[in-house]
Structure 1
Amino acid sequence: MSSDTNPIRDAIAEAIRDNKTILFMKGTPDAPACGFSARTVGALQALDAPFAAVDILPDPRIRQELSALSNWPTIPQLFVDGELVGGADIVTEMFETGELAQALGVEQPDDVEPEAQTAPAAPAPLGIENRLS
């Protein structure tokens, strides 16, 4: 393998490029493995926004390469149209102000709060779960 080739970083960049909305998280949307990931999933689900998700837990290199690519140290990381939106705090704030719905091109429902999922006992296997319709 040459120093110019990084298959994990290339796969992450391709996933970001190929999915309008993609969330890199701990766990899966159905079984988030931390409160921050659960809160971010809850905001996306409250907006009924389609998104792809990648569990970063099975391989520590995913988190390392993602953070190197995005220059953002924490997980989760939400990307929309190839651009980093931010982590749980930013996504939650954007949800509350209606900016997240606008960024995703969906309607902001009235009186909706993001629902936090409960954390599972064990992380799910690595993979991209495509939740796009």
Structure 2
Amino acid sequence: MSDVQSWIKETVTQNPVVLFMKGTAQFPQCGFSGRAVQVLKACGVQNLVTINVLEDAEVRQGIKDFSNWPTIPQLYVKGEFIGGSDIMNEMFESGELQTLLKD
């Protein structure tokens, strides 16, 4: 496992909610990342950790390899990969995301 993979694994397991995104929660740099942050805020997530993949090409590629998922944003809850923006939206609309984040 590379250093980046180890760091990603550590980050997603040590924080309850982690969003790998383009930009920051305050200044998302793509519509999908912005939507992902809005959805998490609507779910009442207080302790969201965001990782700006635009700051580090190695992390940007590393997270795609880690999850075997080609796009950003990527949401992790309690160390588990949940999905990207579309999946988050669907789960939010069905109430599944709120339940997952409450536990």
Q: Stretches of 4+ moved more than 3 A in 1? A: none
Deviations along 1:41-60, one digit per CA (max 9) or x if unpaired, are 00001121121110000111
Residue aligned with 1:85, SS:
strand
> Quick one: percent identity of the two aligned structures?
45
Q: Does 1:55 align with 2:52?
A: yes
1:27-52: CA deviations, max 9, x gaps? 00010000000000000011211211
The structure 2 residue matched to 1:40, chosen from 36, 39, 53, is: 36
> In structure 1, what is the equivalent of residue 26 of structure 2?
30
> What is the TM-score with the length of structure 2 in the denominator?
0.94
1:92 equivalent to 2:89? Answer yes
Paired AA for residue 18 in structure 1: Q
Query: Matches of 1:47 and 1:81 in 2, distance apart?
Result: 16
Q: What pairs up with 1:1-133 in 2 under 5 angstroms?
A: 6-50=2-46, 51-105=48-102
List per-residue Cα deviations over 1:11-39 (Å, max 9, x = no partner).
11110010111000000001000000000
Unpaired segments ≥5 residues, structure 1: 107-133
**TM-score, normalising length: structure 1:** 0.73
User: Of the two, which has the highest radius of gyration?
Assistant: 1
